[in-house]
């Protein structure tokens, strides 16, 4: 049987900007747009299974499924014709609700969507403007466009395309309004996502013209990434409450140091690359991401921003909006460039930072999460600019943007787990339990591929093909960069090459029932981080110290839903431990215990994986400004320190945690 096995670069998937596939089964970039590496599948092509389906159902039973019933920003939203909030909160909410509803085929949620959609379509004016009459700002319309693209993919409602044509004609016909000192200016290229989406479907030059006028008249993030300015500790490091006022004024916080803006902007060089084909935009993105990692990176794959860039200290916070927006940027960039390392990072953010800032039942969330988080209270902390309630779990801690915007994280991740390829195959971009239903082969045969796994908690993944007829097509499977020694087997015996950090490509005639098994080595790994501390990973999961905790309800928000409340969490056990181990012999230092994944995958009481390791207590490492004190410089001398076995659990299962540990190096 004919078979082609290779890494992504050796297959026919990635080509120069001057060549295009001839018979794509899905809308792809026509000339003059640069060809994308992968083609995004329409919403609904990928459906969650296993623990991922449980996670989305938890979200539907929690805030996402009920928020509009009691939160005034949505209950009386002007985006459904009432007199409430007319700015970003309605579109933000829909940007997560729409994909969640259609991924679960949940009619209750779909019925919630319809009044918003009908209002947007009904309010289209002759000028092309749409939405609440109270709103004069282009920014919330950018989000509304993303909502409507997903809605159209799920329903095929032709009225959406009519609205888009009218609005982009408005963009072309009216003077540019993308000022650098306003949200709509620094986020202007969110609108270009929809412009390119429309050009793929129509080849109408109107949409490229609209995108170009935005590119030409908004902030040049590619220059910001190349000339990264936030490297000075005096700029990025918080001052204590005792700092004189005249020195505090020297901190340069503005829309360009704002974490959510930066998380969105990560995809903007990719959009310009699509428009121009110029490799310089790829280089600027790579430089920018490297700078963010070097000066502000956190172990979960995100960067600190509480509200602004704040350095690499694990006590600094990261805003939930930045987490979900960074995920969305990575999903878009994977489609554009096909870089396996970006998918590695997407999984790291999705499986750690996202669940780590929301309660397991999805009824409460934080504004800011910390990698080392030992107290969640309304006490003063070393944030760049955020308020004292930023790291409690609740309905609307600090500010309501995350309350509206957090919902897109899980459903968009699921929708992006598979993508089509330009040689009429399919690519498993992110790993986890799901089923993809898509067209493949030159003949356009519909196949289902079921991905059965408990990943990221377990390393075995089985892909099963289901189709009414045989079809020859390439199947691309991403092998994570950390997975040296991965094994990929077709059927029972046919071993194929599985290079870590690349896409394996298997091209053959596939029949229903054919199976591919990927086995990933789930060895313990370590990263050296702030003050030479050590962080522990297994697969894509980051592990944190299990800290005993007790929760206090400090405010209730609904008589109907008693779980809608604000909570403080305080430690009920010691947290000031250094790991006692030899970093060269990690797997010998840890004992791994696994169990079944529950219907609440990130519940601390039922975590599917735990690690046990020796640690010693560092008694002079104490709390400062209501966070863990400065991390002791590693290595530390374990002589004379109390030693015990401690438990580490997945970061996403914790409210209180230590994730970056001092290292008491065992000789």
- The two beta strands, 502-510 and 4-6, are antiparallel
With cut-offs at 50, 70 and 90, classify the pLDDT of residue 247: low
Query: Which has the closest alpha carbon to 331: 377, 386, 270?
Result: 270
With cut-offs at 50, 70 and 90, classify the pLDDT of residue 13: very low
* C-alpha–C-alpha distance, residues 145 and 150, integer Å: 9
Mean pLDDT for the stretch of residues 250-271: 91
Mean pLDDT for the stretch of residues 496-521: 97
* C-alpha–C-alpha distance, residues 137 and 637, integer Å: 58
Say if residue 595's pLDDT is above 70.
yes
> What is the share, in percent, of the chain residues with pLDDT greater than 70?
93
Q: Return the domain boundaries, the chain.
A: 4-10+420-519, 524-665
Tokens in use for 310? 């704040």
* C-alpha–C-alpha distance, residues 71 and 557, integer Å: 9
Residues 58-80 have pLDDT tens digits of 999 999 999 999 999 999 999 99
Say if residue 501's pLDDT is above 90.
yes
Mean pLDDT for the stretch of residues 469-489: 97
Which pLDDT score is estimated for 244? 56
Contact 554, 568 (CB under 8 A): yes
* C-alpha–C-alpha distance, residues 69 and 97, integer Å: 14
Q: Which helix (H) or strand (E) holds 510?
A: strand 502-510
Which pLDDT score is estimated for 250? 57
Angle in degrees, CA 651, 322, 264, rounded to 5:
140
Residues 202-236 have pLDDT tens digits of 999 999 999 999 999 999 999 999 999 888 755 55
Residues 521-573 have pLDDT tens digits of 999 999 999 999 999 999 999 999 999 999 999 999 999 999 999 999 999 99
Query: Which has the closest alpha carbon to 361: 54, 8, 1?
Result: 54
Which pLDDT score is estimated for 365? 98
Which pLDDT score is estimated for 218? 97
Tally: H helices and E strands in the chain: 21, 27
* C-alpha–C-alpha distance, residues 43 and 28, integer Å: 15
Which pLDDT score is estimated for 332? 98
Which pLDDT score is estimated for 229? 86
With cut-offs at 50, 70 and 90, classify the pLDDT of residue 493: confident
* C-alpha–C-alpha distance, residues 551 and 361, integer Å: 15
Residues 119-158 have pLDDT tens digits of 999 999 999 999 999 999 999 999 999 999 999 999 999 9
Strand partners, 98: none
Residues 336-376 have pLDDT tens digits of 999 999 999 999 999 999 999 999 999 999 999 999 999 99
Which pLDDT score is estimated for 4? 33
> How large is the greatest C-alpha to C-alpha distance in the chain, in angstroms?
78
Mean pLDDT for the stretch of residues 626-638: 95
Which pLDDT score is estimated for 3? 32
Share the mean pLDDT of the chain. Answer: 93
Which pLDDT score is estimated for 15? 37
- The per-residue DSSP string of 86-139 comes to -SSHHHHHHHHHHHHHHHHT-HHHHHHHHHHHHHHHHT--TTS--S-TT---SH
* C-alpha–C-alpha distance, residues 477 and 499, integer Å: 10
The model's pTM: 0.95
Which pLDDT score is estimated for 242? 42
* C-alpha–C-alpha distance, residues 465 and 451, integer Å: 9
């Amino acid at each position: 049987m004919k078979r082609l096995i290779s890494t992504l670069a050796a297959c026919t998937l990635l080509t120069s900007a001057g060549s295009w596939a001839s018979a794509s089964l899905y809308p792809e970039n026509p000339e003059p747009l640069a060809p994308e590496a992968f083609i995004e599948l329409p919403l609904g092509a990928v459906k969650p299974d296993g623990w991922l389906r449980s996670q989305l159902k938890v979200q539907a039973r929690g805030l996402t499924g009920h928020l509009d019933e009691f939160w005034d920003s949505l209950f009386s939203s002007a985006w459904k014709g009432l007199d409430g909030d007319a700015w970003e909160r309605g579109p933000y909410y829909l940007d997560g609700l729409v994909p969640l509803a259609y991924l679960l085929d949940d009619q209750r949620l779909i019925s919630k969507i319809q009044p918003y959609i009908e209002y947007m379509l009904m309010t289209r004016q002759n000028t092309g403007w749409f939405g609440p009459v109270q709103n004069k700002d282009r920014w919330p319309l950018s989000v509304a466009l993303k909502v409507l693209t997903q809605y159209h993919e799920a329903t095929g409602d032709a009225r959406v395309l009519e609205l888009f044509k009218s609005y982009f004609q408005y963009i072309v016909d009216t003077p540019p309004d993308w000022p650098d000192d306003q949200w709509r200016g620094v986020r202007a290229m969110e609108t270009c996502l929809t412009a390119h989406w429309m050009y793929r479907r129509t080849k109408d030059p109107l949409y490229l013209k609209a995108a170009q006028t935005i590119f030409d008249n908004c902030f040049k993030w590619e220059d910001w990434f190349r000339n990264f300015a936030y490297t000075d500790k005096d700029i990025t490091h918080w001052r204590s409450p005792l700092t004189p006022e005249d020195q505090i004024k020297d901190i340069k916080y503005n829309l360009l140091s704002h974490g959510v803006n930066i998380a969105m902007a990560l995809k903007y060089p990719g959009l310009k690359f699509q428009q121009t084909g110029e490799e310089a935009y790829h280089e600027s993105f790579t430089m920018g991401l490297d700078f963010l990692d070097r000066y502000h990176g956190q172990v979960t794959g995100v960067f600190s921003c509480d509200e602004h860039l704040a350095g690499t200290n694990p006590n600094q916070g990261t805003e939930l909006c930045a987490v979900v927006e960074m995920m969305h940027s990575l999903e878009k960039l994977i489609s554009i460039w096909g870089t396996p390392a970006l998918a590695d990072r997407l999984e790291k953010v999705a499986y750690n930072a996202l669940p780590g800032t929301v309660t397991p039942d999805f009824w409460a969330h934080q504004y800011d999460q910390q990698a080392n988080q030992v107290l969640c209270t309304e006490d003063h902390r070393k944030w760049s600019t955020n308020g004292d309630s930023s790291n409690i779990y609740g309905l609307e801690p600090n500010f309501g943007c995350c309350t509206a915007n957090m919902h897109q994280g899980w459903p968009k991740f699921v929708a992006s787990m598979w993508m089509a390829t330009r040689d009429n195959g399919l690519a498993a971009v992110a790993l986890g339990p799901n089923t993809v239903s898509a067209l493949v082969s030159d003949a356009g045969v519909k196949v289902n591929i079921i991905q059965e796994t408990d990943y990221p908690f377990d390393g075995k993944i089985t892909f099963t093909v289901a189709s009414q007829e045989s079809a020859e097509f390439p199947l691309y499977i991403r092998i994570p960069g950390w997975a040296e020694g991965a094994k990929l087997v077709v059927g029972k015996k046919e071993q194929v090459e599985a290079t870590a950090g690349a896409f394996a490509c298997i091209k053959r005639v596939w029949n229903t029932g054919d199976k591919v098994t990927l086995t990933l080595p789930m060895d313990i790994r370590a990263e050296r981080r702030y003050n030479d501390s050590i962080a522990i990973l297994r697969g894509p999961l980051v592990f944190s110290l299990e800290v005993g905790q007790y929760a206090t309800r400090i405010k209730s928000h609904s008589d109907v839903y008693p779980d809608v409340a604000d909570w403080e969490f305080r430690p009920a056990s010691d947290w000031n431990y250094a790991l006692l181990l030899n970093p060269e012999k990690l797997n010998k230092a840890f004992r791994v215990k696994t169990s079944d994944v529950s219907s609440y995958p990130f519940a601390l009481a039922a975590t599917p994986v735990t690690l046990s390791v020796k640690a010693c207590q560092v008694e002079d490492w104490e709390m400062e400004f209501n966070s863990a004190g400065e991390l002791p410089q590693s290595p530390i001398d374990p002589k004379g320190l109390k030693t015990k076995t401690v438990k580490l659990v997945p970061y996403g299962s914790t409210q209180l945690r230590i994730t970056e540990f001092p290292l008491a190096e065992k000789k």
